[in-house]
Structure 1
């Protein structure tokens, strides 16, 4: 598939913080609305915010003594951790990146989404998370899809 045929959009930026509580007041000052506040496998906490009708920001805080996030904070301090791109067809995106000699790592599938990462060793220096949402994601979060997804709907390979 040609790159121009891929259905991709920026979903959110992830910011590594030492404390969601300490960082959140700035986001609320901007007018952000918290959509999700959850933990992943007792490794990290994430809080997901909507700004306006299309922008999303995620704060990620380590809760494990040692993790990828504690390593990141030790090396780089607080700040931009990743850019998440929502993709309609993660297989097509991975194939396209592979054809361009871009390595995609850590592909994992969950009930609500499939994700993979482009290492920050690429020429931009940014970690990209590729995220294909599945139908149950919004239901699992208990949030109206019109609020949860950029533009109100998850991307579809049929678009």
Structure 2
């Protein structure tokens, strides 16, 4: 099923043992840190950009010994973990992927966003995160210019 839903790369996620240790190379490359948050004591993430409208990176580190990220690092070591696509309508994109025979896992709706994952068993070998921002996502976070590619959510583009 073809669709015309807008999609763009939001960021590339890199699994690391320590954000504090790993971010020094990003700073040397000229990145600026946009945000850092903890997710329920399971893992911590920080996002960076190059001061432009795109090209964002995310570092993710485990905060607990029993998370998906701890297992990933034990199995693979630090490195590319996922690519996140911002989608204007996640339902349409999920339906198109399923119609094409691809598996969708961990489809979850939160108050501020909805996400789903295409596991790395797909032909690219990459873990894809599909992410649809909702109204209110930016409340209490940095300004939209730091949160969204081009400073706007896709549905507003």
> What TM-score do you get using the length of structure 1 for normalisation?
0.94
Partner of 2:136: 136
Q: Distance in 2 between matches of 1:51 and 1:148?
A: 13
Deviation for aligned residue 1:151: 1.2
Give how far 1:146 is off. Answer: 2.0
Q: Which runs of 5+ in 2 are unaligned?
A: none
Residues of 1 paired with 2:108 and 2:148: CA distance?
21
Contact 1:7 1:87 in 2 (8 A): yes
Structure 2: distance between partners of 1:132 and 1:140: 18
SS in 2 for 1:74: helix
1:32 and 2:31 equivalent?
yes
Which residues of structure 1 form unaligned runs of 5+? none
CA distance in 2, matches of 1:58, 1:21: 13
Q: List 4+ stretches of structure 1 deviating above 6 A.
A: none
Which residue does 2:89 correspond to in 1? 89
- What is the Cα deviation at residue 52 of structure 1? 3.1
Q: TM-score, normalised by structure 2?
A: 0.95
**Alpha-carbon offset, residue 112 of structure 1:** 1.5
Number of the residue aligned with 1:8? 7
Report the equivalent of 1:19.
Answer: 18
Report the count of equivalent residues.
156
Residues 98-117 of structure 1: matches in 2 within 5 Å?
98-117=98-117
Name the residue aligned to 1:57.
Answer: 57
SS at match of 1:123: coil
